[in-house]
Amino acid sequence: MENAKCKICRRLGVKLFLKGDRCFSPKCSMVRKAYPPGKKGKRRVKALSEYGKELREKQKLKNWYNLKERQFRKYVKEVLEKRGKVKDTSASLVKTLESRLDNAIFRLGFANSRVQAKQLVSHGHFLVSGKSIDTPSYQLKKGDVVALKPQKIKKTIFQNLKNLLKKHKTPSWLELDVEKLEGKVIGEPTIEEVAPPVEISAIFEFYSR
């Protein structure tokens, strides 16, 4: 039976990498069934209204970062309130979302998806600059060091982590130390490097209605 998260990607028409390694394999639903879920006779997609397009873009980014509606709306509203005070509202939103602790865990390669990263953070597996943090939404800043707790290294889920990390490519704003199993925030996330698969201006329009 197809996973619910796979159906999200098919419904939105874009690969959001919600299932970790599976998304990079031939088993990915977007490879096997590159059409919206539903009966085969209903594959034809109706043209979306302007509202429908805005809703779709919002759903894409919200699911990409594995956020609930209330939390995602809060992030967008906070950025909209700063409109006029920041150079680029789209870049500001992406920076905030990327700076979440669970996202950094995923970007560092400590988890194979943001879903898994959120679970690992919630279960208290990581330290931020020596302090135990179990809040996935915790906002990282330049200079913060994210490390796997020493007592957690022997857990089954992390047993092959060092070998996997040797092949992992981290974004330029993060620095990974494979041997220490820690990462350091050395810069700020940019919208150019993140390249989210959405039209962010449409998301602002959606919440400005």
Are residues 163 and 111 located together in one domain of the fold? yes
Per the CB < 8 A criterion, the answer to whether 37 and 7 are in contact is yes
What are 21-79's pLDDT values in tens digits? 666 566 666 566 666 776 554 555 678 899 999 999 999 999 999 999 999 999 999 99
Helices (H), the chain: 4-12, 29-32, 50-64, 69-81, 89-98, 101-108, 114-122, 161-165, 191-194, 200-207
Residues of the chain with pLDDT under 50: 41
In a domain, 111, yes or no: yes
Per the CB < 8 A criterion, the answer to whether 131 and 39 are in contact is no
Are residues 112 and 169 located together in one domain of the fold? yes
Given this model, what pLDDT does residue 87 score?
Answer: 86
Are residues 132 and 180 located together in one domain of the fold? yes
Given this model, what pLDDT does residue 209 score?
Answer: 85
Q: Give rounded-to-5 percent helix, strand, coil for the chain.
A: 45, 10, 45
Given this model, what pLDDT does residue 91 score?
Answer: 96
Whole-number Å distance between alpha carbons of 23 and 15: 8
Per the CB < 8 A criterion, the answer to whether 65 and 118 are in contact is no
Reported as type and span, the H/E element at residue 159 is none
Given this model, what pLDDT does residue 45 score?
Answer: 61
Whole-number Å distance between alpha carbons of 92 and 50: 24
Q: For residue 148, what are the domain limits?
A: 100-185
Whole-number Å distance between alpha carbons of 107 and 146: 12
Whole-number Å distance between alpha carbons of 200 and 209: 15
Whole-number Å distance between alpha carbons of 138 and 116: 16
Per the CB < 8 A criterion, the answer to whether 141 and 185 are in contact is yes
Given this model, what pLDDT does residue 85 score?
Answer: 84
Count of domains forming the chain: 3
Residue 27 maps to which CATH number? 1.10.1050.10
In a domain, 191, yes or no: no
Are residues 112 and 150 located together in one domain of the fold? yes
In a domain, 127, yes or no: yes
CB proximity list for 49: less than 8 A, separation 6 or greater: none
